[in-house]
């Protein structure tokens, strides 16, 4: 390969690394990558910038979706193993506390009615 093609392949490899999250594309890095693509890939600078911006936005969306799927998958595994999430545990803890409070109120109401002498 000649030097220009090799540089273009290197730039594409950088894009690939960014796709898997190994490289974070800050605005400066994205501009530098767009400049390199424009220079070595025969693209206009504005086209290269749009290309890099589009890819970065897709990767962010993909990362969010992967995170959501991973979270849902782990949630399912936890339930299969009989484990609960902290959020579920805390919700149940709150419900038990509410039921205990209601029971104390009912027991208190029974105690006051049992002490009263019959009216008559």
Q: Which residues contact 7 (CB under 8 A, 6 or more apart)?
A: 36, 40
Give the domain ranges of the chain: 3-83, 84-120
Tens of pLDDT, residues 10-35: 666 666 666 555 345 566 777 787 78
Whether the full predicted model's pTM is greater than 0.85, yes or no, is no
Whether 92 shows a pLDDT value over 90: the answer reads yes
Tens of pLDDT, residues 46-57: 888 888 788 777
């Amino acid at each position: 390969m000649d030097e220009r093609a090799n540089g273009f392949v290197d730039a594409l490899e950088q894009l690939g690394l960014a796709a898997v999250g190994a490289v974070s594309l800050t605005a400066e890095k994205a501009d530098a990558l767009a400049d390199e693509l424009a220079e070595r890939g025969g693209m206009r600078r504005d086209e290269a910038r749009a290309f890099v911006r589009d890819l970065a936005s897709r990767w962010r969306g993909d990362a969010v979706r992967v995170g959501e799927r991973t979270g849902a998958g782990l949630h399912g595994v936890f339930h299969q193993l009989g484990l609960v999430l902290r959020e579920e545990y805390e919700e149940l803890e709150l419900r038990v506390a509410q039921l205990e409070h209601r029971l104390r109120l009912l027991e208190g109401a029974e105690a006051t009615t049992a002490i009263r002498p019959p009216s008559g």
